[in-house]
Structure 1
Amino acid sequence: MDPKEIIARRVALELRDGTLVNLGIGLPTLVAQYVPAGRTVAFQSENGIIGFGAPPPEGMEDVNLTDAGGAFVSALPGAVSFDSAMSFAFIRGGHVDATVLGGLQVSSDGRLANWMVPGKMVAGMGGAMDLVAGARRVIIAMQHASRGVSKIVPALTLPATADRRVSLVVTDLAVLEPIQAGLLLRERAPGVSIAEIVAATEASLIIPEDVPEMPISNGSP
């Protein structure tokens, strides 16, 4: 299974029935495809839509239906659109139950860096800062390393998105939970050993005696 699909399927299991969930740009948008059958989740994008679904089939795209990154999405029955002021009122008012965001780094104390890409012109930070501060749960969906360099680090070397500790980090190797004492290794990806996770992680981990293999959603696109 593709590493991004593993991440998206595992994150989908974290989304509770009847909740309002924001999906960030990139990998997090894949989560909408893998929500378990029978579970209803209303997906929100900060550009002004609640109730979007998976990308439409080729040739069925609507230029007025995109996520915050400009990728085409479908509108599910009951979907609503509104301006960005209303969208950020949902976020800043604490009405978003969870947000799923990509990440460039997560530190040992659970802080996220995800808005400034080194060497790239910054067009804007989007809604990341508002989402980390305002959503009830903050789930980070990202690959464990980039070009062999760990993204789980002792301390951020990139600008922090917010001071708040994130709720959960799901990578292609592991599920990590930031707690007061550090990063707790909760689960390991299918076929991945604890030794492999430790070798790929720059930060220290808290490792329990039993680290189960992560479950994967059987939801399908």
Structure 2
Amino acid sequence: MNIEERVALAGRVAEAVPEGAYLNLGIGLPTLVANRLGTEDKEVILHTENGVLGRWIDAPEGEQDSDLINAGKVPIKLLPGAAFFHHADSFSMMRGGHLDICVLGAFQVSASGDLANWHTGDPQAVPAVGGAMDLAIGAQQIFVMMDHVDRQGKPKIVRTLTYPPTGLGCVTRIYTNMGTFEPIQHGSKVKALYINPELTFDQVQQQTGVEIDFSMLSETCRGSSL
């Protein structure tokens, strides 16, 4: 995805976050959501596992502080009301079920909502689970943001995981540059909630490793941007 597609994807996720939600943003693509929430339309409380709670945006040029970062080590600027707290308390919040939504990146998501986002199994790769396993089982809902296919053009929405799992049956919704989908628990399909209007259903299906249920959509009415 180019930067415009990434920003648009972050906007789709931000629109789906309800008023009053406690929202954790994982590293990578999810960090872009903070800049797309706005400050007037609704109140959302952001949480980062390294111990920040409240609202923030990416730090403007010249205002970066290497000691003030989000989980992806990106410098941030706190908005009024935000606060720091201990890393251990942050993980207690994650593990205790106090987060309404967590947005994570992923290598793969299965049709039944299994998540793989910490290791590809490549012996040369450095495993990087961070707090993803805690978030996968602790947050009330897991939204995944990712490219629809990997760098080799292989689908990232698959029937079953081929990478080591982070959590099983934990993903609520999948946001990609091709559309928005919901896994079906113990199912063999994913349900399409939105399809990029520049693509046909056949084009999306060809790039997906599992059958898509398009019954909520039509070629002339693609549904909302959920």
Superposition TM-score, scaled by structure 2 size? 0.89
The match for 1:132 is 136
Q: Please give the residue correspondences for 1:65-76 in structure 2 after superposition, counting only pairs within 5 Å.
A: 65-76=68-79
Partner of 2:154: 149
Counterpart AA for 1:21:
L
CA contact (8 A) 1:52 1:73 kept: no
1:94 paired residue number? 97
* Aligned mates of 1:102, 1:208 — CA distance in 2: 27
**Aligned counterpart, 2:177:** 172
2:197 to 172, 190, 193: 190
How many Å separate the matches in 2 of 1:194 and 1:145?
A: 16
> Alpha-carbon deviation of 1:216?
5.3
Q: Distance in 1 between matches of 2:207 and 2:57?
A: 32
Q: 1:163 Cα shift?
A: 1.6
Residues 65/199 of structure 1: CA separation in 2 closer, same or farther (3 Å cut):
same
Give the C-alpha shift of residue 102 in structure 1. 0.5
Q: Deviation string for 1:16-72 (max 9, x for gaps)?
A: 111110000010010111115411111110000012422111110112210112111
TM-fit CA distance, 1:73: 1.1
2:184 maps to a residue whose letter is I
> Which residue of structure 2 aligns with residue 63 of structure 1?
66
- Give how far 1:126 is off: 0.6
Aligned-pair CA distance for 1:207: 2.3
How far apart are residue 213 of structure 1 and its match?
Answer: 3.0
The SS at the match of 2:205 is helix
**Structure 1, gaps ≥5 residues long:** none
SS in 2 for 1:61: coil
- For 1:28, the equivalent position in structure 2 comes to 30
Per-residue deviation, 1:214: 5.8
In structure 2, distance between residues paired with 1:24 and 1:209? 29
Report if the CA contact (8 A) 2:10-2:36 is conserved.
yes
The one-character-per-residue Cα deviations of 1:144-169 (angstroms, maximum 9, x if unpaired) are: 01221111111111011012331000
Gaps of 5+ in 2: none
Partner SS state of residue 149, structure 1: coil
- Cα shift at 1:190: 3.0
Kindly indicate whether structure 1 or structure 2 has the higher relative contact order, using CA contacts under 8 Å at least 6 residues apart: 1
Aligned-pair Cα RMSD in Å? 1.8
Identity of aligned residues (%): 37
- CA distance in 2: counterparts of 1:57 and 1:216, whole angstroms: 29
Name the amino acid aligned to 2:45.
Answer: A
Deviations 1:99-148 (A, max 9, x none): 000011011211110011434112x4111001010101100011101221
Residue matched to 1:112: 115
